[in-house]
Amino acid sequence: MRTIATWPLDALPPADVPVEFHTPCTRVGRDLRHLPAGARLPDGARWELSEEPWSGFLLGLGSARGLRYTLETDPYLPPGPLTALIAEQAQDHLTGYEFLQWPTCPGHVHLLVPAADPDDGARARWHCRRSGRPLVRIGDLSAGPWAKA
């Protein structure tokens, strides 16, 4: 496995990262700054992009304490589905390994669900699991009740 780059969660990726990852990683990384009260990411949390000759790109989260996960990610998906996939991968990692519920639905106890916007292939939104209603665009958690968390 060859590491291509690592970078801060809410920063633009370095130039050697395929451009298809730039917007999705930046939007999801920006949302990762809006965690529940009292919750925090591991020290040094950052994006990591690697490449495997037989499986392609592996994108994930890493931290200073060495905790990391990577999953095969297809950068050639349309931007909305790619953003939703990256958000789902980050959410699964935080829930399963960090025991951190992120992001939660306002007024409910369940997690929001990331999904591509069917009307605009370039966008993805966080949806209420119960109603299915889109609540906020991925990357814009700072514009809602999550900003107080």
5 has a pLDDT exceeding 80: yes
- Residue 5's beta-bridge partner residues? 49
In the chain, how many domains are there?
Answer: 1
- The answer to whether the beta carbons of residues 72 and 56 sit under 8 Å apart is yes
- Give CA–CA dist 95/116, Å, rounded: 21
- The answer to whether the beta carbons of residues 13 and 5 sit under 8 Å apart is yes
Query: In which band, very low, low, confident or very high, does the pLDDT at 37 lie, cut at 50, 70 and 90?
Result: confident
- The answer to whether the beta carbons of residues 35 and 148 sit under 8 Å apart is no
Q: Which segments within 42-122 are labelled E, that is strand?
A: 46-52, 56-62, 68-72, 112-116
Structural domain harbouring 12: 2-148
DSSP for residue 14: P
Q: For residue 145, what pLDDT is reported?
A: 65
- Give CA–CA dist 4/67, Å, rounded: 18
The pLDDT tens digits of the residues spanning 119-128 come to 887 899 999 9
Q: For residue 93, what pLDDT is reported?
A: 85
The pLDDT tens digits of the residues spanning 98-137 come to 778 899 898 888 999 999 988 887 899 999 999 989 999 9
